[in-house]
Copies of this chain bind each other. A is one copy, B any other.
Amino acid sequence: MRVKEGTKEKDILEAAIKVFAQHSYHGAKMSKIAEIANVSIGTLYLYYVNKEDLLVKVFENLWKKLYVEIESLAMREDLGVTEKLDYLIDLFFDIFSNNPDLATVFVNEQHHVMRNAEVDVMYYHDFMAKAELIILEGIKDKKINPNLNVKVLRFFILGGIKLLLDIWAKEPKLVPLSAIRINVKTVIKKGILN
Show the binding face of A for B, using Cβ within 8 Å.
24, 26, 107-108, 111-112, 115, 145, 147-149, 151-153, 155-164, 166-167, 174-175, 179-180, 183-184, 186-192
Contacts and interface: CB of A to CB of B under 8 A. Distances in A.
A175 B187 contact: no
27 contacts: A24-B111, A107-B111, A145-B186, A147-B186, A148-B183, A149-B175, A149-B179, A149-B180, A149-B183, A151-B174, A151-B175, A152-B175, A152-B179, A159-B159, A159-B160, A159-B161, A159-B164, A159-B166, A160-B160, A160-B163, A162-B163, A187-B187, A188-B191, A190-B190, A190-B191, A190-B192, A191-B191
Nearest to A152: B183
A187 B187 CA distance: 8
Give 6 nearest A-B pairs by CB, closest first.
A159-B163, A191-B191, A156-B160, A187-B191, A160-B160, A152-B183
Nearest to A183: B152
B152 A163 contact: no
Contacts of A112: 24
A89 to B, nearest CB: 11
A110 to B, nearest CB: 10
Nearest to A191: B191
Nearest to A189: B191
